[in-house]
Amino acid sequence: MSGFDISVILDALPFLAKGLGLSLGLTAIAMIGGLALGLVIAVVRLSRFRVLALLAALYVNGFRAVPLILVIFWFYFLVPLLLGRPVGALCSVLIAFVMFEGAYYSEIIRAGLKSVRPGQWQAAQASGMTYLQAVRLVVLPQALRKMAPLMVTQGVVLFQDTSLVYVVSLHDFMTSASIVANTQNRIVELYVFAALVYLALCTAGSTLAQRLSSDRQCAH
């Protein structure tokens, strides 16, 4: 550590920032897409249509039973075959992340919706609301407070998982740090810097999740 050269990190900052931008962008898109898909799946699983609920359950259990890296490989090789033309690595990764995260977010949302007291569902339906209206106007707003901490925590895990995109040759933050470390032969400097960045961002996310959880408890 006596030869720790911070100038290597400073010189590589533009390259590292580009990789971090990819990681953060992928996290944001996967969260938004995963939440939207997860909401649909959760609502279907709680509906009275047993066949659709069963299909949704199979989707969730299927994706939750395999590692994300395998899902990335699936879509990287499968999507071009289905479309009959080449698809970029980034597009394949985005699809894989959204569909994978959708399964996890659906369970968070489903648990949040089920935590709302049955009387709220009954009151909404008694007032003439349809099932979807009851979910959107009555149940979901109440469940959101309970779901928020878990959603943020899942977002932190998602950010960490973006490092897996190296398998399809995308340069996320971790991959960018590895490239600089190997080309400059400064492994200690780059991996220490990468660890500090991950520590700072994940700690911020965890702190936000804890604060949301504390706010929910105070509201009760």
Which residues, in sequence order, are CB contacts of 10 under 8 Å at separation 6+? none
Q: Span 6-219: which CATH code?
A: 1.10.3720.10
What is the CB neighbour count within 10 angstroms for residue 66?
12
Q: Which comes out higher in pLDDT, residue 218 or 51?
A: 51
Is 3 a residue whose pLDDT tops 80? no
- Domain residue ranges of the chain, discontinuous segments joined by +: 6-219
Structure tokens at 102: 């959708």
Q: What is the pLDDT of residue 2?
A: 53
In the predicted model, what is the mean pLDDT of the chain?
88
What confidence tens digit (pLDDT) does each residue in 4-19 have? 788 999 999 999 999 9
What confidence tens digit (pLDDT) does each residue in 117-131 have? 877 777 877 788 877
Q: Which comes out higher in pLDDT, residue 139 or 195?
A: 195
What is the CB neighbour count within 10 angstroms for residue 143?
22
Per the listing, tokens 């895990």 go with 157
Q: Which comes out higher in pLDDT, residue 218 or 38?
A: 38
Is 192 a residue whose pLDDT tops 90? yes
What confidence tens digit (pLDDT) does each residue in 23-35 have? 999 999 999 999 9
